[in-house]
Amino acid sequence: MNLYEHEAKSIFAQFGITIPPGVRITKPEDLRKIHFGFPLTLKCQVLSGGRGKAGGIKFAPNLKEGEEIARTLLDMTIGGSRTESILVEPKVSIARELYLSVTLDRTRGCPIFIGSAEGGVEIESSGKVVTVPIPYPFQPYVARDLAQRLGLTGSLAVKVAALACKLYKAFETLDLDLAEINPLVVTTGEDVLALDGKIIVNDDALGRQEQFKGWQSKHLGDLTERESRSRLMGLNLVELPGDIGILCNGAGLTMATMDMVKKFGGNPATFLDVGGGSDQEKTMFALEIVAENPQVKVILLNILGGITACDDVAEALVGFMKKNPEAKLVVRLRGNNQEVAEEMLSQSGLKLIPDLQTAVGEAIAKSKVPTCAAR
C-alpha cells in the first residue's frame, strides 16, 4: 500500500525524524490561513511517482498566484492517480541533498539501507549509490557504516546515522516494504530533515498493523474500478488492453496462459488469478468481474486442479452460464474429479478441454469472430 507524502511524513515525525513544517489543504482558499510566509512550495498529493516531472510541484511567490496554482494542482491526475490534496510547505534553505531508504533486498534476503550522496534525483540513474545490508537483529553501527560509505564525516555523519536508525525503526515496526527519504536535506543550519518521502506498507502485514486499519480502500491509487473491487475481495486482477479475459488458478499459470495467448496471436484483456482454493463464490465473482469488462469478447478459464476440485469449478461455471447465457467461455480444466466436471459442463453446453494449448487456440479463434456475432 503506497502512502501519500503527507502520511509518510507524519510517520517520519512519529519516529523522531525531522520534517519541514507543512499544512495539507484541499481548497485553494485554505492557502489564506497559512502563515509560513511566501514563497511557499505546493505539492500534489498523489500515489504515483514522477510527480515533479508531471508538474505536480510548484512554487507560489504570493497568495494570488498561489491560489491559482492550487486550483490547477487540485485538478491534476498523475499516472492515473488523482490529486488527493496539496501539501504546503515553506521553502527550506538547502545546503545539501542526500538520498536514504530502507527496503528489502531479494538477492541477499535481508533489509538494506540504500543511500546516495546525491539526493533529489532518480536513484537508479545516480552513480553514487551505496547499499548496506542490515543484519538481524539491528544495531546502530550499520547506520554509521552507511554514513561513512556515503563519504559523510564529523557531526553530519553522526546525524545522518541517527536518522537512518529511526528510519529503520519505522521500517521494521510498521512492516514497510519501502521507507524512502528523497531528498534528505541538510539545511544551511546543519539540520537534517526529510523534505520528501515515500512509504510503501507491506500488504500482507496490514492485518497486524493497527495504525493502517481501514486505509487500504483509500490507497488503491491507479487501479481501475474493477481492479480495486477485486483487490478488496482478495483477488489479483490486472486489466490489459486486449479482448480475451483470462482466469486461472495460480500466478505463474495465469502469466503463462497470457503469454501463450499473445504468442499465438491473441490479446489478453485480463490477468486474473483466482487462487488456490476451490471457493465457488470467489470463482463466480471472478467470472462476473471479467465478463463485466465490455472489451472482453471471450473468457478463457484455465484451472489446473491440485487442491482445486474440478467439479466445484464446474458448478460455479454452470451457475455463471445460467446468469450469462450469451457469454463465450473456453474452459480448460484438469485435475481432481475431472470426469464429473465434464459431465456437469456438457449439460450447460460447455466443452471441457483438457489440453492448454488447444484451449488457447480455441479462445483466440473465438476472439477473432466479429463482435456482433460473439454476444
How far is 69 from 87, CA to CA, in rounded Å? 12
How far is 173 from 180, CA to CA, in rounded Å? 15
Q: Where are the beta strands (DSSP E) in 67-136?
A: 77-78, 81-82, 86-90, 94-105, 110-116, 129-133
39 vs 221, which CB is nearer to another protein?
221
- Phi-psi domain of 55 (left: phi exceeds 0; alpha: psi -120 through 50; beta: other): left
# chain residues binding another protein, by CB under 8 A: 64
CB 297 within 8 A of CB 266: no
63 vs 255, which CB is nearer to another protein?
255
Asked if omega into 39 is within 30° of 0 (cis), the reply is: yes
Query: Chain-centre distance of CA 316, in angstroms?
Result: 30
- Residue 65 touches another protein, criterion: CB under 8 A: no
CB 331 within 8 A of CB 345: yes
208 vs 322, which CB is nearer to another protein?
208
- Residue 207 touches another protein, criterion: CB under 8 A: yes
Query: Which range touches another protein (CB under 8 A), out of 4-12, 21-29, 60-68, 247-255?
Result: 247-255
Helices and strands (H, E) in the chain, number of each type: 11, 18
Shortest Å, Cβ 209 to another protein: 9
With CB under 8 A as the contact rule, the residue among 35, 37, 93, 208 that binds another protein is: 208
CB 313 within 8 A of CB 304: no
CB 334 within 8 A of CB 310: yes
Shortest Å, Cβ 37 to another protein: 34
With CB under 8 A as the contact rule, the residue among 30, 97, 175, 362 that binds another protein is: 175
Q: Please state the φ and ψ torsions of residue 368, each to the nearest 5 degrees.
A: -85, -15
- Residue 45 touches another protein, criterion: CB under 8 A: no
Query: 295-324 mask for another protein (x: CB under 8 A)?
Result: ---------xxxx-----------------
CB 249 within 8 A of CB 274: yes
- Residue 155 touches another protein, criterion: CB under 8 A: yes
List the grid coordinates of 56.
505536480
95 vs 251, which CB is nearer to another protein?
251
With CB under 8 A as the contact rule, the residue among 58, 144, 328, 366 that binds another protein is: 144
Shortest Å, Cβ 139 to another protein: 4
How far is 361 from 147, CA to CA, in rounded Å? 57
- Residue 336 touches another protein, criterion: CB under 8 A: yes
155 class by beta-carbon count within 10 Å (0-12 exposed, 13-18 middle, 19+ buried): exposed
- Residue 252 touches another protein, criterion: CB under 8 A: yes
109 vs 214, which CB is nearer to another protein?
109
Query: 108-137 mask for another protein (x: CB under 8 A)?
Result: -xxx------------x----------xxx
How far is 363 from 294, CA to CA, in rounded Å? 17
Asked if omega into 183 is within 30° of 0 (cis), the reply is: yes
Residue whose C-alpha cell reads 560509505 in the numeric block? 149
10 vs 236, which CB is nearer to another protein?
236
State yes or no: is 99 an active-site residue. yes
Amino acid at 256: A
- Residue 157 touches another protein, criterion: CB under 8 A: yes
Q: Which residue among the candidates 99, 227, 239, 342 is catalytic per the annotation? A: 99
Shortest Å, Cβ 20 to another protein: 25
Q: Which residues pair with 299 in a beta bridge?
A: 245, 329
State yes or no: is 180 an active-site residue. yes
- Residue 147 touches another protein, criterion: CB under 8 A: yes
Amino acid at 184: L
- Residue 76 touches another protein, criterion: CB under 8 A: no
| Three-class secondary structure of residue 49 per DSSP | coil
- Residue 169 touches another protein, criterion: CB under 8 A: no
Residues that bind another protein (CB under 8 A): 104, 106-107, 109-111, 124, 135-137, 139-141, 144-145, 147-148, 153-155, 157-158, 161, 171-172, 175, 177, 202-205, 207-208, 236, 238, 240, 248-256, 258-263, 268, 271, 273, 276, 304-307, 334-336, 356-357
Query: Annotated active-site positions, please?
Result: 99, 180
